[in-house]
Amino acid sequence: MSRLLLLGTVTGAVIAGVYAAPVRAEGDAPATARADIIDLAGDTIGEARLTQGATGVLLYLRVEGLTPGAHGLHLHSRGICETQESFSTAMGHVDMVEGGHGLLNPAGPEAGDIPNIFVAADGIGEMEAYLTMVSLEEGAQNLLDADGSTIMIHENADDHVSQPIGGSGARVACGVIEAG
């Protein structure tokens, strides 16, 4: 079953996307996934939990030890977080769209675009977002496919428009998304 979803943003822009809802037997628990978030030193600084919903994935993320302020947050297309490579082995965003990066970009968004995470003065950041362009189940943009996926945190805020990554800068933390 396909559904047209309209999502409002804080700026009033509307994002539309088509999503094929997963088919699940009544009473079955939704698919779940998690990721341990590591920094460039390889230290665990947080965790992400993902839960499949009827029309997307609910993401909960909590991190400690990042610099205060907004940090760009994306889903990357390969499930590898190698610190010696500054996380470059995680490749690009899930479902990259040429010239379409950003939640507010007229040519986008990409399935890997997520709102920024805001880190408080004490270094703790926590957020929740509903991602309508990805899934934890069979079908399009499955984050648990054969080559996996990662959650990537960048050093700066994502402006949600400019190319290629919204000015969000270097990759500073990464987590491999795994079932369960």
DSSP count for the chain of H helices, then E strands:
0, 11
pLDDT at 40 exceeding the cut of 90? yes
Show the domain range for 58: 30-179
pLDDT digits over 107-145, tens only?
A: 878 889 999 999 999 999 999 999 999 999 987 789 999
Q: Is there a domain that residue 62 lies in?
A: yes
Question: What domain count does the chain have?
Answer: 1
pLDDT digits over 50-73, tens only?
A: 999 999 999 999 999 999 999 999
pLDDT at 3 exceeding the cut of 70? no
Residue 153 burial (10 A CB sphere; 0-12, 13-18, 19+): buried
CATH number of the domain residue 51 falls in: 2.60.40.200
Instruction: Please state the pTM of the whole predicted model.
Output: 0.83
